[in-house]
Amino acid sequence: MTNASGATDKPSAGDPIPPKCAVIEVHVGELKQLFNAIDPSPFRDKDLDPKAEEFIVGWAKDLPRDASLALMIDLDREAGLPDEAAVLRGAIHEFFSQRAEAYRRRLRELFRVGRTSLLIGVIALASAIALGDFIAGLMKGSRIGDIVRESLTIGGWVSMWRPLEVFLYDWWPIRNEARLSDRLAGMPVRIRYLNATAPDAWKGDWPAVSPRGERAGGEAQARVLNQAN
């Protein structure tokens, strides 16, 4: 997976790229290389290949947070089905939408754990302070009593480390990932055809059917595939 900067006069299809837009460029031989080969889901629900995801997300993170994003796929073949760019855009947008929702679920779970940890920590701290004062009172005037009280107080504050970690440090990287996924889920997607392979190479590539063909059912898919072959 490498970035490419092919000639601007190459044939292309898909969303128009707005001016002053930060373009993420990906160069592949076939569209199916962008997706996880072992994922059995229909192509609209397929996960991106981990390397493709890492490449796109990593490039996006290097760009300013307020930059408008776009994705340009440099493809080593000629154009295939008329709506393959729309199919690709839908699959990519769906993947990053699900990624954003997954990070939000993770954030909600983290806050739930944080609230529970905070309650436990406050109870432990209050109990440690109360117990330390009680022991120090029983051993009034004894240095050992003071040591026990200070030890219990320190232990009580140590019990607060987890909620403090959650609410001070752990939540904001997850929120940033969710926001980045939202930006990627809304970016324009365009395919630039480099015509580096033989004609009709698209017949063995993904997607093999259009969204209309998929919605039409299994028989319609078979007809389109037979026509392609």
Q: What's residue 39's pLDDT? A: 76
Parts of the chain with a pLDDT under 70: 1-9, 43, 196-204, 206-229
Separation of alpha carbons 117 and 214, rounded Å: 48
- Distance between CA atoms of 8 and 16, rounded to whole angstroms? 13
pLDDT score of 219: 45
Residue 124 CA to residue 136 CA, distance in Å, equals 18
Per-residue confidence (pLDDT) for residue 81, from 0 to 100: 80
pLDDT of residue 207: 60
Interval 14-44: pLDDT, tens = 999 998 899 999 999 888 889 988 877 776 7
Calpha distance 75→149 (Å, rounded): 70
Q: How would DSSP label each residue in the chain?
A: -B-----TTS-EEES---TT-EEEEEEESSGGGGB-TT--S-GGGPPBPHHHHHHHHHHHHHS-TTPPEEEEEEESS---STTHHHHHHHHHHHHHHHHHHHHHHHHHHHHHHHHHHHHHHHHHHHHHHHHHHHHHHHTTT-HHHHHHHHHHHHHHHHTTHHHHHIIIIIHHHHHHHHHHHHHHHTS-EEEEE---S-TTGGGGSSP-S-HHHHHT-HHHHHHHHHHH-
Contacts of 194 (CB under 8 A, 6+ apart): 6, 10, 74, 75, 76, 77
